[in-house]
Amino acid sequence: MITTGHGSTEAITTTGTSEATPRELGVGMRFSLHPHTDDFVRVILDSLAEVEASGAGEGLVIETDEVSTYVGARAVPAEQDLAGYLVAAIAAASRHSGGGHVAAHVLFSRGCPGERTCDLTSTILPEVAPVRLEPTGIEAVAQWSLYPLLDGGDDAGEHMSIIEAAITRAQARGVAAPAAHYATKFTGDLAEVVATAVDAWARVGTTVPHVATHLTISVGSPTPARGT
């Protein structure tokens, strides 16, 4: 059974006999846009409005609050929809700020729709097709962290093995640098950077019922050596 947190008004129950939907699995993201300009309010609002007008939000639940925007997937292809929405929003913010410095932070999560009791051990976890996104022409640098949320046991090091395998796959795509403290650096087209993180997260999700990943993305930074 999955029960949603206080943030939702619906209770969701899955059975172990059929493949779970993205909604039942709590597949979604929470992201924030940070245009480094005096005109940030206009840039953010124009960017979100443009993405909404483009239809990229169709089939998604979108809620913006003081800190971030929650985007929940209802149906397949959930990962494709989420990645497409995020890339469109960051690309729009980059354009609306005249190619200036924009940072974004995103948390993708799958496995527990709210924060309360969540037991997915009897749920069949779906395989997910890799995300396909058109290149944006926007070079991005990012830092990526992956959290497979296993439950306790004696299988020492299993969560690290999962993380290491995911880093190795991201490196094979040409996006990831060697791992650094707490995060792995990604460089490449904005679309490929996001796709690499989303594919890694979705892949771990086929064997681990609850997995989150965080990505801090920077585009248009004028200070590559010191751009905190």
Name the minimum Å distance from CB 85 to a second copy. Answer: 13
171 φ/ψ angles, rounded to the nearest 5 degrees: -65, -35
H-helix or E-strand spanning residue 27: none
Name the 3-class secondary structure at 163.
Answer: helix
**Backbone conformation region of residue 171, classed left if phi is above 0, alpha if psi is from -120 to 50, else beta:** alpha
Cα separation, 191 vs 188, whole angstroms? 8
Q: Which is nearer to a second copy, 116 or 132 (CB)?
A: 116
**Which residue type is seen at 45?**
L
Q: Which is nearer to a second copy, 203 or 214 (CB)?
A: 214
Name the minimum Å distance from CB 8 to a second copy. Answer: 7
Q: How far is CA 4 from CA 10, 115, 116, 126, 138, in A?
A: 7, 7, 6, 20, 37
Q: Which is nearer to a second copy, 117 or 129 (CB)?
A: 117
Name the minimum Å distance from CB 38 to a second copy. Answer: 5
Name the minimum Å distance from CB 49 to a second copy. Answer: 11
Q: Which is nearer to a second copy, 106 or 133 (CB)?
A: 106
